[in-house]
Amino acid sequence: MPDLNKNQVAIIDYGMGNLFNVQRACANVGLRSVITADKDIILQATGIILPGVGAFGDAMNNLTKMDLVGAIKDHIGLNKSFLGICLGMQLLLTESEEFGGHKGLDVIKGRVIKFNRIDKEGRRIKVPQVGWNRIFFNKIHPASQSDSVLQNIPDGEYMYFVHSYYTVLEDSSFVLTKTNYEDTEYCSALLKDSICATQFHPEKSGLKGLRVFKNWAQTITAHSELMKK
């Protein structure tokens, strides 16, 4: 078993993540990490990252078969730092309509729905969205640009996206940033307590994406200090 004094972040390997790019991004900002499917390591880790690329239903099936659902929820229940990326963000929600509908982790109430394929003028929309798009801060979120995982990220900054589905949260106060794609405005980052998640891929978003990892590393330290009190 890896020494978690030296590997404080667990990157969850459930067969559907962009694992090595995420680990490389962690290393670039000084975060020590281990790629793992061991639920004991996940529970012991100071922070966990749930990446993801692919189908929602397959992802939940893999997490269930590998007995990782309980470990993820227990980690979050202990108010430890969590970072979800792309599909890893969508899995936090109650359910997805993808391929007939699937239940999610239900950590945050909401649904995952597909982008419209036709715009208001009847023109076909390219789905999935692939490429760079802008993120705009949600003014009603209690965390500002200066004290969230997106601190020092300018309003309207470009990040890299690859997705066909987006999240709709029941409580809009958890929406940290919004993004517009064709006719749809959607949640591109969320923040609730120790849970942060992004629809975009920070590990593919250049220097600003690395800033997200650096900020998240700082939140790990802050949460760890609070839990010691």
pLDDT per residue over 97-114, tens digit each? 988 899 999 999 999 999
User: Could you tell me which of 178, 108, 180 has the C-alpha nearest to residue 141?
Assistant: 178
Evaluate whether residue 1 is within a structural domain: no
- 131 domain-assigned: yes
Number of domains in the chain: 1
Name the strand (E) or helix (H) holding 112: strand 108-114
Q: Which of 157, 187, 203, 223 is catalytic?
A: 203
Q: Is residue 4 part of a domain?
A: no
Residue 190: which domain range?
9-228
Q: Could you confirm whether 86 is annotated as catalytic? A: yes
For residue 207, give the CATH number of its domain: 3.40.50.880
For this structure, is 201 an active site residue? yes
Mean pLDDT score, 118-125: 86
11: which strand partners?
A: 35, 49
Mean pLDDT computed over every residue of the chain: 90
Per the domain annotation, does 32 fall within a domain?
yes
Looking at 75, 102, 163, 201, which residue is catalytic? 201
Catalytic status, residue 95: no
CA distance 219 to 208: 17
With respect to residue 59, please indicate whether it lies within any of the assigned structural domains: yes
Beta bridge partners of 178: 136, 187
Show the tokens assigned to 174: 């958890």
Q: Does 201 fall in a domain?
A: yes
Instruction: Give the Cβ contact number of residue 180 at 10 Å.
Output: 13
- pLDDT band for position 226 (50/70/90)? very low
**pLDDT band at residue 86, thresholds of 50, 70 and 90?**
very high
pLDDT of residue 145: 53
Asked, for residue 3, whether it belongs to a domain, the answer is: no
The token pair at 211 is 């800033």
Is pLDDT larger for residue 180 or for residue 222? Answer: 180
Active-site pick, 26, 86, 187, 196: 86
Q: Write out pLDDT tens, residues 137-167.
A: 988 666 655 557 898 899 999 999 999 999 9
What's the CA angle centered on 111, arms 110 and 116, to 5 degrees? 140
Average pLDDT over residues 38-42: 94
